[in-house]
Amino acid sequence: LGTVHKAFQAMPLAKDRRDALEAAVVQRQQAFAAAAAAIALAAKEKPCWQALAAVLEPMRYSTRYMDMGSAANAEVEKFPTPDSQDLARQFVELASLAQRAEGYLRNHIKTRASTAPISITMRVNGESKKLLLINLTDKEIQCRPPIGVVQKMDRQVTALAYRDLLDQAISNLPSDVKRERARLMAAFLWVWRPADVPECLNEMADDKLAQALGRLEANRKSSALVVRGIRRDDGGSLFAYDFLGRDAALLRDFAGQGAALGDSGMTWRTDVVIGEDDRAEASLPTLRWKGAVRPPVSIEATVRLNRDTQLALVGVAAGTMRARVGFSLKQARLAVGSLFTGDEVNFNIGTTQSAPLLDIGQPVKIVVTVDERYRAHLLYNGTLVERDRQLPTNQPISVIFQVLQTVPGSPGSIVVESLDIEGRADP
């Protein structure tokens, strides 16, 4: 801009024309300066938002609302400007709103339990069941069948339709509470059901709480998974996916084309066909879990297979290596084996065995474990396929689903009913 400014100063221009051009230059300089200041300010704010997220994350999926409010308040003064401090302070308000919403929800459930208990559908031991919701405590969801005794389920790992239930609870409350509906819903769901928060924010327009939630999520160190890892006493985490619950948000935790939810779970379908002599790892269509864990790792997938798939593969990726259980399904005699890739270039067939007792009309349970020495062990329905397959050490481990088809025709597919991944969450 300085060069342009000097250029038109040297030009024979009328005074009004020169004044207009100088004003335009000044305006543009101010705009550039404001943009640069905004970028610098955002750079200062980012670590503050990341620190706030790190402090609050361990308190989600719990009723530690007071602790959450205190922790948020302790972070506020660390933000660089009054405006950013004001937004950060919204998380103190969020904790209070979430605690109030918890109370409204519990009262609603208890009131209904004594008159007309709320009917819900829940997954219990891998099966969908109609139950009556009786009570909600800090640690438990208490339900019972229409005829039977009360069952107590761990609240942290049991999915509950919080959005619908809280909406019902608020609809029966006074008008002043109803006016806060969107804020109450957003605060409570951010703690217990983050996947439902965006829909709430659509109703909140310029609300500062919505702005604060947006700013926090935009500045996280990494994109959070929809499914939160439940921390174990040994330092590991459990990531549990129940696809039979038909929660479309779960698909966001997987990278790859062709995944959709159906009555039987997450169906991943691909019509990619590779050459009969092609052994390139890159040629295999892949659906990959976006998360990563470190040993000791235990992965349990309940899947359904079909005869239209030439070779269905389920396993792990670590660094340059892949280790998978493979099911050969188009032949008259079913076979199971292992497929591994040692250099991320070409895949190789490991052990193979016939599977006369494999009933693909029933769900198949696949288990992959990786010990502290990064040795992988592959099983299906309790049958060992391969053991001690060495993976590269000090590498994060992810889950992969793949299909190998060499003949055009029906698409290959894998249906996943559930997927449980245990391990130390990768930072």
Query: pTM (2 decimals)?
Result: 0.64
Q: Answer for the pair 338, 386: CB distance below 8 angstroms, yes or no.
A: yes
pLDDT in tens, 230-274: 777 667 888 989 898 778 889 999 999 999 998 889 999 999 999
Q: Is the pLDDT of residue 1 over 60?
A: no
Return the H-helix or E-strand segment holding 423: strand 412-425
- Domains of the chain and any CATH numbers: 230-425 (2.60.120.200)
Distant-in-sequence, close-in-space partners of 38: CB < 8 Å, separation ≥ 6: none
Name 239's bridge partners.
421
Phi, psi of 322 (to 5 degrees): -130, 140
- For residue 379, how far is the Cα from the chain centroid? 26
Q: Is the pLDDT of residue 30 over 80?
A: no
Question: 351 or 420: which carries more pLDDT confidence?
Answer: 420
Strand ranges, E, within 138-195? 140-144, 151-154
Q: Is the pLDDT of residue 66 over 80?
A: yes
Q: Is the pLDDT of residue 208 over 80?
A: yes
Which tokens sit at 34? 């404001």
Q: Answer for the pair 396, 318: CB distance below 8 angstroms, yes or no.
A: yes
pLDDT in tens, 267-319: 999 999 999 888 889 899 999 999 999 999 999 999 999 888 999 999 999 98
Identify the CA nearest to 183 among candidates 209, 206, 162. 209
Mean pLDDT of the chain: 88
Return the H-helix or E-strand segment holding 328: strand 321-328
pLDDT band for position 332 (cuts 50, 70, 90): confident
Q: Is the pLDDT of residue 32 over 80?
A: no
Phi, psi of 242 (to 5 degrees): -115, 95
Quote the pLDDT of residue 315. Answer: 96
Return the H-helix or E-strand segment holding 130: strand 127-136
Quote the pLDDT of residue 51. Answer: 95
pLDDT band for position 101 (cuts 50, 70, 90): very high
Quote the pLDDT of residue 4. Answer: 54
Cα separation of 416 and 251, whole Å? 11
Quote the pLDDT of residue 295. Answer: 93
Q: Is the pLDDT of residue 123 over 80?
A: no
- For residue 364, how far is the Cα from the chain centroid? 24
Question: 107 or 409: which carries more pLDDT confidence?
Answer: 107
- Mean per-residue pLDDT, 111-140: 87
- Mean per-residue pLDDT, 160-168: 93
Cα separation of 84 and 90, whole Å? 10
Question: 156 or 114: which carries more pLDDT confidence?
Answer: 114
Quote the pLDDT of residue 266. Answer: 95
Lowest mean pLDDT among 87-96, 181-190, 406-415: 406-415
pLDDT band for position 29 (cuts 50, 70, 90): low
Q: Is the pLDDT of residue 61 over 90?
A: no
Q: Answer for the pair 411, 272: CB distance below 8 angstroms, yes or no.
A: no
pLDDT band for position 407 (cuts 50, 70, 90): confident
Distant-in-sequence, close-in-space partners of 351: CB < 8 Å, separation ≥ 6: 337, 338, 385, 386
Q: Is the pLDDT of residue 324 over 90?
A: yes
- Mean per-residue pLDDT, 97-118: 96
* Angle, CA 224 vertex, CA 403 and CA 374 arms, to 5°: 55
Lowest mean pLDDT among 25-29, 209-213, 418-422: 25-29
- Mean per-residue pLDDT, 98-117: 96
